[in-house]
Each structure stands twice: as structure tokens, then as C-alpha cells.
Chains A and B, each alone.
Chain A
Amino acid sequence: MIWINGDDMTDDNTSGVNRRNLLKLTAVAGVVAGSGLLSARTATAEDGLSLKGKRIGISATGTDHFFDLQAYNAQIEEVKRLGGEPIAVDAGRNDGKLVSQLQTLIAQKPDAIVQLLGTLSVIDPWLKRAREADIPVFTIDVGSVNSINNSTSDNWGIGKDLALQLVSDIGGEGNIVVFNGFYGVTPCAIRYDQLVNVTKYFPKVQIVQPELRDVIPNTVQDAFTQITAILAKYPEKGSIKAIWSAWDIPQLGATQALTAAGRTEIRTYGVDGSPEVLQLVADPNSPAAADVAQQPAELGRVAIQNVARHLAGETLPRETYVPALLANKQTVGEVSKKLGIG
């Protein structure tokens, strides 16, 4: 997932390489998506896990986004459900605070630490110190070599689902405008690559060049301005069929620009399941066509279950994938309900 303040905008090079290698190895993204589904299902189906008498450090980068808050609260609940004692701390999206809270957590010697998001270069030295202090480290959406297991969304599946929805919606032909400002961020790169993989087999689908660059901060305003300019450049209806972005905040700005310009025949696509974008998808008159939502609460639960597994002596995979949910005009109600929105 991609957050507006760029918390996971920086990703570890090594983990990026790993993921790309994985992509090459599997070649067919669907296989990865399938295995991700499988591992996530076993994670919830099994019980008999226990954290009795264990103190679990839960370190959140912030809880001001929908995603963070859901994942954070779900972790606390899950630790309690399994009989453990959560030590939950929230850095309020301040890196200095985050490092301090990790430092204090390490000194408290909990039975495990679960880190939710965070800029890798900032937190990794401290995750390493935790590991050196023999505290098992787990992460959610952070690919760190110092973490035993990373619970994350399956970005190959996300990218493929979104691309297939887009291509099918536009009838397999037409021009699409793409925001590709964060190809340096691994999850964004995977999603973009999947779009390219899919459109390769639909030769009548063209990505408009040059691609647009989304920015942080002021993402919404900037996307609005850029799309308004594109609309002026392509004034006749049908010359642009869809707008794609690797996350849904540029999608928000793009959708607003389309509505403002009366070009609601163009559809928008994005990822993350931000409540405001899901609301637009739910509006039958809005050009927002689809948004792939991650399951933050499920990510939080899976991470804690993995802690319990590890402490029980099980060997864990490097990453556990939690499937994402595609919200389009038909499924958005169901997805929102599942995510606990509205």
C-alpha cells in the first residue's frame, strides 16, 4: 500500500529485488495471487494459537489513516484474544518519536515486536537492534531483512485485478492516462508492471505518453490540475478512456477533475480502498470505476497470529500475503461492509 505521507514510499532495495525475482520466477502473477490467498486462508482458519503470558510490542508509525487505525486496533484485539498482553505505541507519524518508542520497546524486552509501516531506512537500524537483543521482529507492509515475517498485501494480485477490470471496462481498446510518479516504490512498481503485462495482450489499449507524475504532498490538487490540462489537450469525447494510478489519492483528484469538466465518460482506477474513494465508486454517476482495497484489519490479525506461530516453534514464510478486495460499481457495497466502512 502507499500512503500519502510516504511512509512506505521508500522500500528496501534488497526486498525490492527479492520481490522482482519472485515475479520473474513465478512469471504468472495469478499463481502468486493464488498462493497468497491460500496462505491467508490457513492463517484465519486455524486456531488453538496462544499468546498466554506473552508481552507483544505493537509499534505503529501512526494511526491517523484508516489503514493504520484498522491494522493497529486489530492487532491489539488479536493479542488480547490469544491471551497475551499488548504493549501498543503510536508514533503519530513522527520519525523521531517512532525511533524513541522502538528504543524503549527494545529495552522493555517484550516477547516480540510487530512494526506497522514506517520508512525502512529510519526503522531498520532499530529493528536490527531488537533482533540483536533476541527479540523476534515482525512487520506489516515493511520489507525488512531484520523481520522474521512481513504481512502484506499481494501487490501482483492487486495490479492484475485492477488492470483486468480496466481493460474489460473500456472494451479492450482506447487511450489510458497513467500516473507513474512512484515507480521507485516497490508496491507501485509491481502494480504498474502488472498493468503493462495485461495491456501487452490488448494492442488497441495505449498508455498516453508522457506518463503523468503524481506527487506528495498536495496529491489531490496536483492530480486535479494535471488531469484538467490533459482534458484540454484531448477535448473530444472518447479520446481518453480511463485514468490509472498506483494508489487512490491521485484517483481522487482525477475523479474530481473529470466531474468538474463534465467528462464523466472517462473512468478512474486506483488502489488502497480509502473510504472517500470507495464512496465515489459507490456513486453511480461518479467516474470512479474501481478501487482495490487492502484489508488492514486482516493484515493486523494475520501478523499477530504469525507471532503466535513463531513463538510456538513453527517456521514462517518470508512474507504472508493477505488478499485485497476489488471494489467496482457492483461489488463496492459488499467490500465496504467487509472493511467495516459506513
Chain B
Amino acid sequence: MLVDSPFIPASALEIEAQKSLEPPGSGPAFGRRLATLALRGGALAVFVGVLVVFSAAAPFFLTIGNIGNVLGQSAIAGVLAIGLTIVIIAGGSNVVTGGIDLSLAANMGLSAAVYASLVQAGQGDGVAILGALGTGLAIGAVNAAAVTLAGIVPLLATLAVMNVVAGLELVLTQNTVVPAATDFLSALSAGGPFGIPVLAYILLGFTFVVAAVVQYTPLGLRLYAVGAFPDAARAAGLPIRSFVAGSFLASGLCGGFAGILSVSYLSGSTTGAGDMLLPVVVTALLGTVFSRRLVPTITGTLLSALFVGFLINGFQLLNISSTLVSGVQGLLILLVVSATTLLGRKESI
């Protein structure tokens, strides 16, 4: 089903065609369908299983306050992963040649640094917000130009941009913490209605808006077409380059937005934004298993971000040594991703 599926000899296709003609419930086709179902449900089952285990072991886990905390704690990574998802949708989900934006975490770092520096320089929140979003958008524009005008593979183009952006952040902050405290920032990091952090509402609201655009509008449908079936999209007259460029602008904007959230969460801009990159990439890739057709979706990415957030939170509540967290987390991700890969291979045949 994916445009980047491996080359399959015609004979294999014929065999597949014959198989699909077999009545359901007979022989290997039935077994495969069952396996597909099991694998598809597997991700959700793992998610639910993890939640059940945690809530059984730590009664505090299922309280509204704790769930709100996890939502709030996942906001920054969630917004970044959603930005990345847009790029993956428009560029195709092949990890090497498809859409990817490796500059997102560095983008968040620089945008946060711009915000905090503007506040330090005595500017108001309005100017600082524009500064952060403008920074994000500018980085997105550079990515878009490198990919669509210069024709560089996104993996390499955004890797280069990531380095430039991380360097700019070093120049701006001298690799120090730039504290920033304004009423707006404290309001963002405070608790909202029902004892749930404001950041949690922001994550949900943001996901809702982006999901509505990407998954329920003609624009979103075209975005999927451009990424999954570029030839068909081109034949249908869709401006592929504009869509790809637009996806990088959108992800750049997400980086700027996440930068603002980060400044509020950390009371300033701090070093080490680059650490976010791999978790964000993992979150976005993991997101595909939470969709019905195993394609990148905004809601799938949200679920994936929450899954990772709940894991970290649950480990802390269970008082499991933090040294084990990343190990178990990696193992679960490996399990889920290998399951999808197997399933994806079956799908593509």
C-alpha cells in the first residue's frame, strides 16, 4: 500500500492475487489475517496493559491529577512529534529517503533561547512570542528551501540545519541558562481547571486543531496523497513541492511553539535541547502503530507521546530504579516497532 514498498516480482504478486481470491477462513490467508489483527491490536493492547499494570500497582496512577501531569509533561515532546508527523505524512514514511525533520529539537532550543533572551532584554511577551514563532518559521523555511529548491534528501538537509541551529543557540546563550519569568509564562506552567496543568489543555487543544486539519480536510487528504503516492498526486495535478515545503514550514512553526512551552516549563531557556531529538523521532515513528491503517496520524502521535509519558511516570510511581527506565522503554519500543515492521511488510505484499 505504500509507495516506498520493496520491489516485488510479478510472480509473487500473482501468487498473492490467487491467495486473496481464496475464501476467508481457509488456510494461510486466514492465519495471516489473524496475525495482522493481533499485531494491529498489539500496540493498543500493550498500551492498555501498561496502564492496567501501573494502576494496579500504584493506586495513585489513575488519578486525574496524575494523568493531567503526564499530559502536561508530554506537551513539549508531543507538539514536536506532531510537527514531525506532518513532515513524515507529506514526505512519505521511508525513514531514510522519506520525510524527516531532524532540526526540530534544535529549533525548539533556539526558539526558547530567543524567547528568553528577548524577555531578558526587557521585551514583552508579545514580542517574545513573535520572536520564537518567527525563529521556528525561519528554520522551517530554510529546511523547505534545502529540500525542495536544492533537492537535498530531508535526512541530510535537516541534519545540516540542525547543526547550524544548535550552533546559533550556543552563540546566543553562550551555553548558559537564560532565566525568564513573566506572568504569561507562569500562567502557562500553572495548574488549570480540575487541577490539570495548563500545558495539558494546550497539548489536547493543539492536537485537536492539527488533527482536524490533517485528517478531516481536503488539504489533509492531499498531504497524505503527496507523501504516499507522489506519482498519482503529480498526475492529479497537486503541487508536490509546495506541499512538502509547507510541511516543513508547519513543523518549523511547531518547533517555535514548543520553544515557548519549554520556556514556561523550565522558567527560561536551558541547554541540552538536542537531547529531545531521538525521543521525538521515536514518538513520531511509534505513532503509526496507534492508527487503524498503520500510517502516521496526528492522534496516533498523541497516543504515542502519552504512552512514553505514562511509562516514565509509572516507573517513578512504582519506585523502579530510574536506571532501568530507559532500558525497559527501549525494549517496549523495539517490540512495538518490530511488530509494525512485520505487519507493514505483510501489508505491502
Cross-chain contact A104 with B317 (CB below 8 angstroms):
yes
Within 8 Å of chain B (Cβ to Cβ): is A262? no
Q: With an 8 A cutoff between CB atoms, is B227 at the interface?
A: no
Query: Which residue on B lies nearest to A95, using beta carbons?
Result: B270
On whether A119 and B270 interact (CB within 8 A), knowing A103-B73, A104-B69, A107-B69, the answer reads yes
Binds A, one of B124-132, B175-183, B339-347: B175-183
Contacting B at CB under 8 A, from A253-289, are: none
A88 touches B266 (CB 8 A): no
Q: Which of B177, B189, B312 contacts A121 (CB 8 A)?
A: B177
CA distance A217 to B275 in the complex (A): 16
Partner of A88, one of B65, B175, B322: B322
Q: Within the complex, which residue of B267, B313, B322 is in contact with A122, where a contact is CB–CB below 8 Å? A: B267
Question: Given A88, A94, A104, which contacts B275 in the complex, CB threshold below 8 Å?
Answer: A94
Q: Are A104 and B177 in contact (CB under 8 A)?
A: no
Q: How far is the CB of A85 from chain B (nearest CB, A)?
A: 8
Q: Does A331 contact B (CB under 8 A)?
A: no
**A221 interfacial contact with B, CB 8 Å:** no
A-side contacts of B275, CB under 8 Å: 94, 96
In the assembled complex, the Cα of A52 lies from the Cα of B60 at a distance in Å of 22
Residues of A in contact with B, size category: 20 to 34
Q: Give the distance in Å from the alpha carbon of A125 to the alpha carbon of B189 in the complex.
A: 10
Sort chain B's interface into a size bin: 20 to 34
- Would you give the shortest CB distance from A32 to chain B, in whole angstroms? 29
Q: How far is the CB of A72 from chain B (nearest CB, A)?
A: 10
Q: Is the CB of B177 within 8 A of A6?
A: yes
Interface residues of A in 1-22 (CB under 8 A from B): 5-6, 9-10
Give the distance in Å from the alpha carbon of A92 to the alpha carbon of B76 in the complex: 18
Q: Within 8 Å of chain A (Cβ to Cβ): is B271?
A: yes
A-contacting residues, B297-349, CB 8 Å: 312-313, 316-317, 319, 321-323
Asked if A96 and B262 sit within 8 Å, CB to CB, the answer is: yes
CB B203 to nearest CB in A, in angstroms, measures 14
Is A124 located at the chain interface by the 8 A CB criterion? Answer: yes
Check A6–B176 contact: CB distance below 8 A: yes
A216 to B173, CA, bound (A): 12
Give every chain A residue within 8 A of B321 (Cβ-Cβ): 88
Q: Of residues 83 to 97 in A, which have CB atoms within 8 Å of B's CB atoms? A: 85-90, 92-96
Cβ–Cβ < 8 Å partners of A105 in chain B: 316
**Is there contact, CB below 8 Å, between B267 and A93?**
no
* Residue B66 lies at the interface, judged by CB distance under 8 Å to chain A: yes
Q: A89-B316, A122-B177 are contacts. A107–B266 as well, Cβ < 8 Å?
A: no
Quick one: which of A9, A90, A107 contacts B322, CB cutoff 8 A?
A90
Q: Smallest distance from the beta carbon of B326 to chain A beta carbons, Å?
A: 8
| Mask of B78-114 contacts with A, CB within 8 angstroms, 1/0 | 0000000000000000000000000000000000000
Chain B positions within 8 Å of A, measured between CB atoms, are 60, 65-66, 69, 72-73, 76, 175-177, 179, 186, 189, 262, 265-268, 270-272, 275-276, 312-313, 316-317, 319, 321-323
> Mind listing 8 A-B residue pairs with CB under 8 Å?
A6-B176, A100-B69, A101-B316, A104-B73, A119-B177, A121-B267, A125-B189, A125-B267
Top 4 closest pairs, chain A to chain B, by CB: A121-B179, A100-B73, A95-B270, A90-B322
